Structure 1
Amino acid sequence: MIRESSAVAARQNLGDLLNQVQYRNDAVLITKDGKPVAALVDVALFERIRRMRDEFIRLTDALGQTYVGADPAVAEAEIAEAVSAARKSRARQTPKSRKVKAR
């Protein structure tokens, strides 16, 4: 479950919030003046996000090197085609019961 807490309340109840994150697998969205400024998440989720970000950076760097000096229109068309193929492949691999319907 994702809970919301003001920065002041988070400071006052940090121990309780840490327990909720660690033992109940909750996440806490910390707000300041009603605006989200930070999130308190389980370390396993944080590590997953960090690995995904690192992989994204690695892939975009590799992709950028592939198209150095190429015609931008050709590069965009090839990338769009690859993205479309990857999405179709992923859709075939995803069990229908796990797909989320758009509202």
Structure 2
Amino acid sequence: MEKQLSISQVREELGTLVDEVQYENSKYIILRHGKPAVAVVPLHVYEAWKSNRERLFGMIERMQAAAGDMDPDEAMALVLEAQQAVRAEHRERGPG
């Protein structure tokens, strides 16, 4: 579960926040005017997100190239299938 802090709390506790994220894998939602504005997550979480995003878009590009004149609904079904495969792989690997 993410912890929530206001921007003013972040200013006061930045060192502690960074230590908790880096060493304890804590996750924070930073609030601006009481509403979620940004997330602070451990670097490995961010890097995994970037890697998964790149792989997903790579799959989409390969499917688009292979689809040629395929019906758009059929192509979308393939995209969703690829997305589910990536998510299943991520679940199997677990966090980090």
- Say if 2:64 and 2:75, in contact at 8 Å, map to a contact too: no
Residue 76 of structure 1 and its aligned partner are, at CA, apart by 4.7
TM-score, scaled to structure 1: 0.68
Name the structure, 1 or 2, with higher relative contact order (CA <8 Å, separation 6+): 2
Q: Paired residue for 2:53?
A: 53
Residue segments in structure 1 that go unaligned for 5+ positions in a row: 95-103
1: CA distance, partners of 2:56 / 2:74: 22
Aligned residues: 85
Structure 1 ranges of 4+ moved more than 4 A: none
1: CA distance, partners of 2:42 / 2:69: 43
The within-5 A match list for 1:1-103 is 1-76=1-76, 79=78, 83=81
The root-mean-square deviation of aligned C-alpha atoms, in Å, is 2.4
2: CA distance, partners of 1:60 / 1:10: 38
2: CA distance, partners of 1:74 / 1:39: 35
TM-score, scaled to structure 2: 0.72
When residues 51 and 74 of structure 1 are mapped into structure 2, their CA distance, relative to the original with a 3 A threshold, is closer
When residues 17 and 65 of structure 1 are mapped into structure 2, their CA distance, relative to the original with a 3 A threshold, is same
- 2:4 alignment partner AA: E
Give aligned-pair identity as a percent.
26
